[in-house]
Chains A and B, each alone.
Chain A
Amino acid sequence: MSNDNTMNLQHSQQQTALAGQANAEVFTLRPLTDIHETSQGVTLYLDMPGVTKDALSIDIDQNVLSIRGSINLHTPENLKPSHMELHSGIYERRFTLGDELGVENIEANLNQGELKLFIPRSEQHKPRKIDIKVV
């Protein structure tokens, strides 16, 4: 019985260690984001300094928008880090989009590490002004 317990303990410790390792591998930075909304659509501004156009991917699966980018600093090969405030080279963030947004016509713009994404509202969801005729 006691043997079983020890076995279980070892097993769970091993699992925790593995989970920790897995977490370290997928550790990513969460780009800080501002979101503005208008009647025309939604604009997202993401801070992703160090990301170039080639290292950026924007994907839509169903209604989930995923943004991922990796930092390329062209550091010298023998560089030894002495002080680190950014501990990962990858930014990643997901947003769930409402049904009223038209995912086909997203406009993306990357300028000096600032990503601007405009997601238009689909036509049938844009506010319409209805003229009232006075008879």
Chain B
Amino acid sequence: MISNMLRFPLSMFDDDLDNWFFPEARRFNRRPRSAYPPVNIGVTDENVDVYLFIPGMDPAALDVVIEKKLLSISGERQLKKQASEDAQVRTERFDGAFKRVITLPEDVDVDTVEAQYQDGVLHIRLAKPAVSQPRQIKVSAQ
């Protein structure tokens, strides 16, 4: 359901080959092995709720695009570079460009979308069309 477009070409090779063929990969390989940003998805009868955990972003720098049934979220995280006299003791956080592509379920109305960025979490809410929401049907006796 989820694919990470940026990581895919690099993960085909092991680390040593990456470094040999793509010197750029050295930079990529310092990232944690899981895709960035992490995504949680939940559904209710009315909506599909997508949560992306992307701290420290300017909401204007987040790109959310829906094309057919694909929802893509991309952006670039630029961590503050330390001054030259500082020693960088530990670097674990993600830095750089990211993109996540999510295949949406068939029963989602791609025209009714809300996106909100709060406390470092991007929340995208997509509505389900009325026809696919569960309905209670009354049984009448004859």
Question: Interface of A with B (CB < 8 Å)?
Answer: 32-39, 42, 45, 47-52, 71-73, 75-76, 78-86, 111-114
Contacts and interface: CB of A to CB of B under 8 A. Distances in A.
A83 B39 contact: yes
Given A81-B41, A86-B40, A34 B55 contact: no
Given A48-B55, A82-B42, 10 more contacts: A37-B86, A38-B83, A73-B123, A75-B42, A79-B43, A85-B35, A85-B38, A112-B57, A113-B54, A114-B55
Interface of B: 1-2, 32, 34-35, 37-45, 47, 49, 51, 53-57, 79, 82-83, 85-94, 117, 119-121, 123
A38 B86 CA distance: 5
B120 A36 contact: no
B51 A35 contact: no
Q: Is the interface of B mostly helix, strand, loop or mixed?
A: loop
A123 B41 CA distance: 49
Contact of B93 (A34, A72, A85): A34
Contacts of B86: 36-38
Given A80-B42, A83-B41, A51 B87 contact: no
5 contacts: A37-B87, A49-B119, A80-B42, A113-B55, A114-B55
Contacts of A52: 119
A34 B92 contact: yes
Contacts of A114: 55-56, 120
Nearest to A113: B120
Nearest to A71: B121
B55 A49 contact: yes
A81 B55 contact: no
A36 B44 contact: no
B34 to A, nearest CB: 7
A42 B86 CA distance: 9
Nearest to B47: A76
A20 B32 CA distance: 26
A37 B56 CA distance: 21
A82 B42 CA distance: 5
Contacts of B37: 49
A81 B87 CA distance: 42
Contact of A86 (B53, B94, B117, B120): B53
B93 A84 contact: no
A47 B37 CA distance: 11
Contact of A78 (B45, B54, B117): B45
Contacts of A71: 121
Contacts of A48: 55, 120
